[in-house]
Structure 1
Amino acid sequence: MHAKTDSEVTSLAPSSPTRSPRRPVYYVQSPSRDSHDGEKTTTSFHSTPVLSPMGSPPHSHSSVGRHSRESSSSRFSGSLKPGSRKISPNDASSRGAHRKGHKQWKECDVIEEEGLLEDEERDKGLPRRCYFLAFVLGFFILFSMFSLILWGASRPQKPKVTMKSITFEQFKIQAGSDATGVATDMISMNSTVKMIYRNTGTFFGVHVTSTPLDLSFSQIPIASGTMKKFYQSRKSQRSVSVTVMGNKVPLYGSGASLSSSTGTTTLPVSLKLNFIVHSRAYILGKLVKPKFYKKIECDITFDPSKLNVPISLKNSCTYD
């Protein structure tokens, strides 16, 4: 048989003054998803009335309605976006664990990256310190070598001292007594020693001093003199005069042969002059200071007939 639809039943049913009770109407909610839009999912509900057939038992209506609601709710829940789904506790815990693990991995990556950066900085810092130390050490070595070269080059350029002459202005012997009252012959003399000092250095000047010039008779110092300090520039020379004198120096027994009634000796007197000349050069400020020593000894013979006459020392001196 052909089953009549609800619309046909409604149209064929005779109109009666008494209105029959309205049948329950069920709506089926079907979500419509826009398949072309990947970002948003719009849920639209289409309400379709479903009429309960005539003569259907009451439980059938409830079952149909319940089935319709369940199907619509399941369809509605299935049509939602994954992000808008209701997350179950298990899913939340797993996602939290995943995030926690991901965060821990991030922290490990950060720590590892910081360690690499520290290693790189350490690797970069070590060569810099090494370069600095190498530069300082190299500079010190080069400077030391340069200073050593200058010192070695200055050593052969020794100053030269040439003794010229000695002039006796006074040479007197007289009787007297020493500080303790012992009677003895005593000598007083006055002389001038002349010399030439020459600096042979080509790139440095020198500061010159000397020990006292001692004039002795029979190993007894009878006169002494001091040379004044001076500075001599490179490749230059000067004449130096030093006064050597003594006043009432006791001779004790050594002066017996020199004494006379006139107070002056009539015999030649052998004397010895000795002293040391110190020369110091300053190169590169005071960093390189070569020193030069010249020991001079002269054998002098005093002739009473040549008083106030210069006595040549050209061949009478030794230089060490």
Structure 2
Amino acid sequence: MAVTMHVKSDSEVTSMDHGSSPPRSPRRLVYFVQSPSNHDVEKMSYGSSPMGSPHHYYHCSPIHHSRESSTSRFSASLKNTRNHSAWKKIQKEPESDDDDDENDDGVGTFGGLGRNLRLYICFVFLFVVLFSVFSLILWSASKGYKPKVFVKNIVFENFNIQAGSDHSGVATDMLSLNSTVKLVYRNPATFFGVHVTSTPLELHYYQLQLASGQMKKFYQSRKSQRTVVTVVVGHQVPLYGGIAAIPNTREHHEKMAIPMNLTLVVRSRAYILGRLVKSKFYRRVQCSVTLRGNRLGKPHNLTKSCDYR
């Protein structure tokens, strides 16, 4: 806002004080400038009159007024722009925070699930490794406790060869044999028991099978042993000339001697850690024995005539 006023110059004031009327000087325009956007009143220059009273006048030219007005308007515009930008920022910040919270919640939840999954996988893997190592240690330790099998003796109860015919009607000598085999089974293990089975016990005359018998399966606890007796029999076995005919007389029976082989395989299975850790043991036994007619009904000692593998 600009206001135009007529102000007397200093020379005119001095002339009036002395009562003389000097020639008039040209009048000068004085402008008061106030910025509408600025609440602070601009400082004005103080002029001293000869009377010593201050006059709050600001002397400027129209060019200076124009520059000040442009500067004030630019400052006000810049300030309004900054205020408007700050208000927009204040309005946007809560939304941004909400979005960040939602994103953080989603990422945090997914990250938590992923971390829990990784921990679970690591725990399972560590458990499998430790369990495998522990099982391997037990399995290796069990191999140092192999079961022991000893065939003590065999008793031939009776032996008979007589003429006959096989199932197809072919005439041949027929053999009947009845015997019992006694063996000792020992489990030296200190931390597991074993389940024991075996293949059939067989008596052979070279390649000809004369008798067989099946041992009953059983369970043997740790650090224990038992004696097992198995019946091995042969009934009406066709010889087809494999064994020379033996007269059925007492004298010839006492003199007969027929070499035989007794064979069997003892199988032991240990469940060390339930069904998860198992250990198997096999013991192959082959004994040489001679059937003598004068020792029927008496035990034939086999402790030194058997091979164990």
In the superposition, the TM-score normalised over structure 2's length comes to 0.69
Separation in structure 1 between the aligned mates of residue 245 and residue 190 of structure 2, nearest angstrom: 49
What's 2:107 paired with? 119
Structure 2 Cα separation of the partners of residues 160 and 258 of structure 1? 40
The residue correspondences of 1:62-211 to structure 2 (distance < 5 A) are 102-211=90-199
Deviations, residues 252-309 of structure 1 (Å, cap 9, x unaligned)? 0112x24214386432100111010000111122221100000000111111100000
User: Which residue pairs with 1:307 in the alignment?
Assistant: 296
What runs of 5+ residues in structure 1 fail to find an aligned partner? 1-90
Q: Which whole-Å CA distance do the structure 2 matches of 1:308 and 1:182 have between them?
A: 32
SS of corresponding position for 1:180:
coil
Alignment partner of 1:273 is 2:240: no
How many angstroms apart in 2 are the aligned matches of 1:270 and 1:195? 20
Q: Which residue of 2 aligns with 1:4?
A: none
Q: Residue by residue, what CA displacement relative to the aligned partner does 1:5-57 show, whole Å, maximum 9, x if unpaired?
A: xxxxxxxxxxxxxxxxxxxxxxxxxxxxxxxxxxxxxxxxxxxxxxxxxxxxx
Displacement after TM superposition at 1:249 (Å): 0.3
Tell me the alpha carbon deviations over residues 212-248 of structure 1, each in whole angstroms, 9 at most, x when there is no partner: 0011112111101000011111010000100000100
The answer to whether 1:260 aligns with 2:279 is no
Q: Is the 8 A contact 1:185 1:259 kept in 2?
A: no
Greater mean alpha carbon deviation, residues 110-119 or residues 171-180: 110-119
2:198 aligned partner, one-letter code: S
The answer to which of 223-232 and 119-128 deviates more is 119-128
Alpha-carbon RMSD across the aligned residues, in angstroms, is: 2.1
Consecutive unaligned residues in structure 2, runs of 5 or more: 1-79
SS of 1:282's partner is strand
| Structure 2: distance between partners of 1:244 and 1:238 | 19
Does the alignment pair 1:238 with 2:226?
Answer: yes
**How many angstroms apart in 1 are the aligned matches of 2:103 and 2:227?**
77
Write the distance in 2 (CA, Å) between the matches of 1:126 and 1:98: 40
d(CA) in 2 for partners of 1:103, 1:262: 127
**In 2, Cα distance between the equivalents of 1:191 and 1:100?**
110
Structure 1 residue 121 displacement after superposition? 2.7
Q: Pick from 207, 223, 229: which aligns with 1:219?
A: 207
Q: Which structure is higher in strand share?
A: 2
> Hey, what's the Cα distance between the residues in 1 that align with 2:179 and 2:275?
37
Deviation at 1:182, TM superposition (A): 0.5
Which deviates more from structure 2 when the two are superposed, residues 263-272 or residues 211-220? 263-272
What SS does the corresponding residue of 1:299 show, helix, strand or coil? strand
Secondary structure, aligned partner of 2:185:
strand
The letter of the residue matching 2:168 is T
Cα shift at 1:98: 8.6
Q: Structure 2 CA distance, aligned partners of 1:154 and 1:301?
A: 37
Q: Structure 2: how far apart are the matches of 1:245 and 1:103?
A: 105
SS at match of 2:124: helix
Q: Is the 8 A contact 2:161 2:248 kept in 1?
A: no
| 1:190 CA displacement | 0.2
Deviation at 1:189, TM superposition (A): 0.5
Cα distance in 1 between the residues matched to 2:107 and 2:168 = 88
In the alignment, the residues of structure 2 paired with residue 135 and residue 105 of structure 1 have an alpha-carbon distance, to the nearest angstrom, of 43
State the Cα distance separating 1:99 from its structure 2 match. Answer: 7.3
Contact 2:195/2:220 (<8 A) preserved: yes
Q: CA deviation at 1:102?
A: 4.9
Give how far 1:131 is off: 1.3
Alpha-carbon offset, residue 123 of structure 1:
2.7
Whole-angstrom CA distance in 2 between matches of 1:129 and 1:213: 58
2:164 & 2:122 partners in 1: Cα distance? 75
Letter in 1 for 2:202: D
Distance 2:153 2:91 in 1: 103
Q: Secondary structure at the match of 2:277?
A: coil
Match 1:317 to one of 301, 306, 309: 306
Structure 1 position 104, deviation (Å)? 4.3
SS at match of 2:191: coil
Partners of 1:254 and 1:308 lie apart in 2 by 24
TM-score, normalised on structure 1? 0.66
